[in-house]
């Protein structure tokens, strides 16, 4: 059975972070399975799922990447995956809708939108938020890739989103991925 760990790292963005981390992992006999990286202002964040040798501890992985941690002053967290966390994402559960939220920036947008989704058992498979100042106004954009379960009514979801968006004075659009791909 494969031993897989989740490794997250955060630090001030600079060239070479990914090369340094992956070099250390490669030299330790690890294999990068999946990763996601992003830059938020000047902070770089990465999350990786890594297969490690059967006899390697998470502490040893940390020791192996210490040169990269020290060089780039990274904050790192490592944890072993267990049980159903080891299962690969099912092809039966792809993102099937894109949800976009736009409006003036205010507290609570992410909280209130994601609360509606959680109550309806809608899974968020990806998201991004952005702000843009236009004169004296700051516009907030929130983009989500979501999986809406078959038992969930799209009309009820749209109604619940419309209610919270009206309360927040923001606009939303919900587009099926098939429609989105054709655009």
Cβ atoms within 10 Å, residue 67: 14
CATH number of 97-182: 3.30.70.260
Would you place residue 91 in the very low, low, confident or very high pLDDT band (cuts 50, 70, 90)? very low
Which of 3.40.47.10, 3.40.50.300, 3.30.70.260, 3.90.1170.50 would CATH assign to domain 3-85?
3.30.70.260
Residue with tokens 């991004």: 128
Task: Answer positive or negative: Cα dihedral of 35, 176, 86, 80.
Answer: positive
Report pLDDT digits (tens) over 134-167: 889 999 999 999 999 988 899 999 999 999 999 9
CATH 3.30.70.260 residue spans of the chain:
3-85, 97-182
**pTM score:** 0.70
CA atoms within 13 A on the CB side of 84: 2
């Amino acid at each position: 059975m494969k031993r897989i760990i989740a490794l997250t790292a955060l630090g001030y963005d600079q060239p070479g972070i990914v090369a340094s981390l992956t070099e250390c992992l490669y030299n330790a006999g690890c294999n990068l399975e999946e990763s996601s990286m992003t830059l938020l202002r000047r902070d770089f964040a990465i999350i990786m799922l890594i297969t490690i040798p059967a006899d390697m501890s998470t502490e040893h992985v940390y020791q192996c990447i210490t040169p990269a941690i020290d060089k780039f002053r990274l904050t790192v967290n490592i944890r072993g995956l267990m049980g159903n966390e080891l299962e690969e994402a099912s092809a039966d559960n792809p993102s099937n809708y894109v949800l976009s939220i736009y409006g003036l920036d205010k507290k609570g947008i992410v909280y209130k939108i994601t609360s509606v989704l959680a109550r309806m058992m809608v899974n968020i498979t990806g998201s991004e938020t952005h702000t843009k100042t236009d004169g004296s106004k700051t516009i907030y954009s929130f983009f989500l890739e979501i999986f809406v379960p078959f038992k969930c009514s799209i009309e009820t979801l749209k109604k619940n989103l419309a209610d919270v968006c009206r309360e927040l004075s923001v606009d939303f659009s919900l587009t099926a991925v098939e429609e989105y791909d054709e655009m």
